[in-house]
Amino acid sequence: MPISNPKRYTVTAALIYANGPIHIGHLAGCYVPADIYVRYLRSSGKEVAFISGTDEHGVPITIRAKKEGLTPQQVVDKYYEQIDASFKALGVSFDVYSRTSKPVHHETSREIFRDLYDKKVFVEETTEQYYDETAQQFLADRYIVGTCPVCANPNAYGDQCERCGSTLSPLELKDPRSTLSGSKPVLKATKNWYLPLDKMQPDIEAYVNGHSEWKTNVFGQCQSWLKDGLKPRAMTRDLDWGIKVPVEDTDGKVLYVWFEAPIGYISATKDWLIQKNGSEEGWQKWWQPGKDAAEGETKLVHFIGKDNIVFHCIIFPAMLMAEGNYILADNVPANEFMNLEGDKISTSRNWAVWLHEYLEELPDKQDVLRYVLTANAPETKDSEFTWKDFQTRNNSELVGIYGNFINRAVVLTQKFCDGKVPQRGELQEIDQAALADLAAFPGKIAESMENYRFREALSLIMDLARTGNKYLADTQPWHAIKTDPGRVNTILNIALQISATLSIVSEPVLPFTAAKIQDQLSISGKNWQDAGDADLLAVGQPVLEGKLLFEKIEDSVIEKQVQKLHDAKRLNELEGKTVAPVKAEIQFDDFAKMDIRIATILEAENVPKSKKLLKLLIDIGSEQRTVLSGISEHFKAEEVIGKKVLYLANLAPRKMMGMESHGMILMAEDRDGSLAFMQPGKDVWNGGTVN
Ligand SMILES: [Zn+2]
C-alpha cells in the first residue's frame, strides 16, 4: 500500500555511470521529472532529501578507460566534474550529488554485504564463468558479446540485449566472444556469492503486488519478471575495478555493481550530512525511520529510466528486505525512452543532444529544454525529440502563450497603473469566473504532481496561462482605459494575481523563469500554499519592467542543430571505418590481361529512370565509345564533361536499362564513400596505356 501522508521524502535519481556526458534521453527519462517532483514537494513545505550521484564502478567505466587511453580513475574524475556541472547549470536541485568512489560508499556497501554474509543470506556457489585466455581474466557480462537468443541481435551483451531489452546471462548467448581480445572465451571455475532471489520470491511478490498503483509499464515489467520466476544472482564479480569483497581470500573479486550502486543512495545521504554538518549523524531518518516511531514515516521514491526497473523494484528491495532495517521504495516512476529525430538515442553511434553542449550553444535556454522534455516526456510510452518541435513549442507555447501573458500583465500595469499593483473594484461575472479558475488550478496541478503525471501538470499550467490570456482578451483593458480606468485596475489586479500564481505553480518545471517573474512582481518566499490566492500580491506592491522571458528561436538555429547531429553521427561512422584488406594474390599475367588506358569524356547525360547511372560518350584515341557509369549520385553530368579518366577498355559489354555499356571508368572510393576520378599527372594522349 502506498504511504498516504509521510513526514518526509527521500527522493533518488538514478546513479549514472561516470563514463560519458549527460544527454536529453537521461534528462527526459529521469532527472527532469525527479527535479520537478522535488521542487513541487519543497514548495509544498515538505521535508525532502534529493539524492543522486555518479556510479563509478562497473565494467562500462573500464571499457571507456580503455577506449580513451586513461585509467578508470581518470575517466570517472573527468566525467563526474562534467556531469555535476551540467546538472547544476540546468537547475537540477540535488541536495547532494555524490560519487560511489567515496570512502563512505565503500564502507556502507561493505557493511551491508558483510551483514548479509553473516546472516547467511547469500548462497556460495562455484560456477563456470567465461575466461579470456588471451587477456588472462574472467569476463564480466559487458565484456562478452554474442547473439541474443531472443531476437538474434548479433551484438547482445552478456547481461542484456539492448535491442529487445531481454535480460541475459553470458551462458545464454550464442557464439560468445570476448570484447577484450575478440577471442572465443573458455569456461573456468570460480566462486561467487549469490542472492537467492528464487527463495525470496514470495516476499518480493507480496511487496510488488502491494503496489498496484505503480505506473503500468513498471508494474507490468515486474510482473513479467515474477512470472518467469526469479533466479539467484551473483553479488560478487571477478574484476579488479570496484569495491573489494569484505570476506577473506577474495582477491580479484569485487562487489557486483548492481549490489553496491543502489546502496549509493544511502551512502550519498550520509555524504550529504557529512558535507553539511561534518558528520553522518541523522541519516537513519531518511532510510530507517521505523527505528524511532516518533520520527514518522519516510516515503522513498526512485526516479529511473525503464532499463533499471528490475534493479530498483526487485533486486535492491530484496537486499534491503534481507537486511531488515530499511524502508522500501514506495514508488518507482520509471519513464520509457525518448528518441531523437526518428532514431534511438545512442552514445556509441553519437546520436544524441548532449547537455553540456546544449548549455553552451543555447545559453539561457535551460527552461526551454526543461519545458520541451516535460511536455513531450516518455511517461507512458516512448516519445520523440525533434528540433522542429523544440522550436514550435518555444515559439508558440512559451513565447506565444506563457511569455505573452506575463509580459502583457506587466507592461499594461506599467502603462496604466504606475507600475504598482492596483486595487480591485466591484467584480463582474467574468472577474469572478477568472478568480474561481485561479483558485482551482493549484489543486489540480498538485494532484498531477503527486501522481507523477508531470506532462499533465504542465498542460494544466499552460491552461492557467491561457486562462490569463483569454481574460485579458475578453476584458480588453487597452480599450477600457479610455472610458473606465477603475475597471482597468480590477482587470490588471486579477491578471497580476494570476501571474503570481503562475510563477509559483510553474516553478518546478521553469525555475529560472519563475524567479524572473517573482523579481518583476516583487514577491519572495511564496510557495504552493499561497498559490491560487486572489490577494497574493498586495495592493501598491511594485511591478517592475523586465526582459522578455522567452525569445523566438529562428529557423537557422534549428537547422544548425540538426546539421550538427548528422555531422557528428557521420564523423563517428568514419572513425569506425577501416581500410579494406588486400585481396588474394594474382600473377602478372592476370594483370596483363586488363587493357587500361586514358580516355576523355566528351558527352554526359542522365539515364532516365535511373538513380545511379550517367551515360557517357568517351574518346579512347582509336574510337568513341558509350559507357554507363554508376556515378550520378556523386557527380552532375555537366561536371564530368572534359575530364581525363582511367578506362578499362576490354571489359565485356553489359546491358543496363536497355542500353549497352562498353568498358568501365575507374574511380577511387574515399573513406566516406564519395568517389574521385583517377587522372594522369600530365596531359597524356587519349589511348595512352596504363601498365
Ligand atoms: Zn535481443
The Å distance, Cα 264 to ligand 1 centre, comes to: 30
Q: What's the confidence (pLDDT) of residue 364? A: 93
Q: What is the model's pLDDT at position 292?
A: 67
Looking at the predicted structure, is the pLDDT value of residue 621 above 70?
yes
Q: How far is the CA of 154 from the centre of ligand 1 (A)?
A: 9
Contacts of residue 39, Cβ cutoff 8 Å, sequence gap at least 6: 93, 507, 508, 511
Q: d(Cα 231, Cα 415) in Å, to the nearest integer?
A: 71
Q: 307 CA distance to ligand 1 centroid (A)?
A: 14
What separation in Å is there between the alpha carbon of 614 and the centre of ligand 1? Answer: 43
Kindly give the distance from the C-alpha atom of residue 382 to the centroid of ligand 1, in angstroms, as a whole number.
Answer: 18
Residue-level pLDDT at 167: 85
Q: How many whole angstroms from 156 Cα to the centroid of ligand 1?
A: 6
CATH number of the structural domain 588-677: 2.40.50.140
Q: Which residue ranges are tagged as binding site?
A: 148, 151, 161, 164, 347
- C-alpha cell at position 626: 558509350
Determine the distance separating the centroid of ligand 1 and the alpha carbon of 161, expressed in angstroms: 5
CA 431 to centroid of chain Cα atoms? 44
Other Cβ atoms less than 10 A from the Cβ of 636: the count is 12
Rounded Cα distance, 215 and 451, in Å: 9
Q: Which three cell numbers stand for residue 172?
A: 545464454
The more confidently predicted of residues 361 and 608 is 361
Dihedrals phi, psi of 127, to nearest 5 degrees: -130, 170
- DSSP result, 515-527: HHHHHHTT--S--
Ligand 1 center from residue 210 Cα (angstroms): 31
The 10s digit of each residue's pLDDT in 264-274 is 999 999 999 99
The burial of 120, by beta-carbon neighbours within 10 Å (0-12 exposed, 13-18 middle, 19 or more buried), is given as exposed
Residue 173 Cα to ligand 1 middle (Å): 10
Q: What residue spans in the chain does CATH classification 3.40.50.620 cover?
A: 8-113+256-344
Residue 67 CB burial class (10 angstroms; 0-12, 13-18, ≥19): exposed
Cβ–Cβ under 8 Å, residues 647 and 598: yes
Q: Tell me the pLDDT band of 293, cut-offs 50, 70 and 90.
A: low
Distance 228 CA to ligand 1 centre (A): 17
Distance from residue 231's CA to the centre of ligand 1 (Å): 19
Residue 59 Cα to ligand 1 midpoint, Å, equals: 20
Q: Which range, of 401-405, 476-480, 578-582, 664-668, averages the lowest pLDDT?
A: 578-582
Distance 334 CA to ligand 1 centre (A): 21
Local confidence band at 142 (pLDDT 50, 70, 90 cut-offs): confident
Which residues belong to CATH 2.40.50.140 in the chain? 588-677
**For residue 115, how far is its CA from the centre of ligand 1 (angstroms)?**
36
Cα dist from 31 to 10, 344, 352, 447, 509, whole Å = 15, 19, 16, 20, 12
Runs of H (alpha helix) within 521-633: 555-576, 588-592
CATH number for the domain running over 118-253? 2.170.220.10
- In the chain, the percentage of residues whose pLDDT exceeds 90 is 81
Q: Which residues line the annotated binding site for ATP? A: 347
CA of 149 to the centre of ligand 1 (A): 7
Per-residue pLDDT tens for 28-80? Answer: 999 999 999 999 999 999 999 999 999 999 777 888 888 889 999 999 999 99
Domain spanning 8-113+256-344, CATH architecture: 3-Layer(aba) Sandwich (3.40)
With cell 549469490, the residue in question is 194
Query: How many angstroms does the Cα of residue 151 sit away from the middle of ligand 1?
Result: 4
pLDDT at residue 159 greater than cutoff 70: yes
- What pLDDT shows up at residue 347? 83
Cα–ligand 1 centroid distance for 330 (angstroms):
31
Q: How far is the CA of 166 from the centre of ligand 1 (A)?
A: 6
Which range has the worst mean pLDDT, 237-246, 387-396, 485-494?
237-246
pLDDT value at 548 more than 70: yes
Confidence of residue 574 (pLDDT cuts 50, 70, 90): confident
* Gap from CA of 552 to ligand 1 centroid (Å): 43
Distance between CA atoms of 504 and 658, rounded to whole angstroms? 72
- How confident is residue 577, by pLDDT bands cut at 50, 70 and 90? confident
* Distance from the alpha carbon of residue 230 to the mean position of ligand 1, in angstroms: 19
Asked if pLDDT for residue 425 goes beyond 90, the answer is: yes
* Alpha carbon of 526 to ligand 1 centroid (Å): 51
Binding residues for Zn(2+): 148, 151, 161, 164
CATH of 403-530, one of 3.30.70.360, 1.10.443.10, 1.10.730.10, 3.90.226.10: 1.10.730.10
Identify the pLDDT of residue 73: 92
Q: Average per-residue pLDDT in the chain?
A: 94
Choice between 576 and 160, residue whose per-residue pLDDT is larger: 160
| pLDDT given at position 163 | 83
Task: Specify the pLDDT at position 572.
Answer: 83
Q: Please check the confidence at residue 288 and state whether its pLDDT lies above 70.
A: yes
**Is pLDDT at 654 greater than 70 in this prediction?**
yes
* Ranges of CATH 1.10.730.10 domains, the chain: 403-530
**Largest CA-CA distance found in the chain, in angstroms, rounded:** 106
Q: Is the pLDDT of residue 143 over 90?
A: no
CA of 176 to the centre of ligand 1 (A): 14
Q: What is the C-alpha to C-alpha distance for residues 130 and 257, in angstroms, rounded to an integer?
A: 18
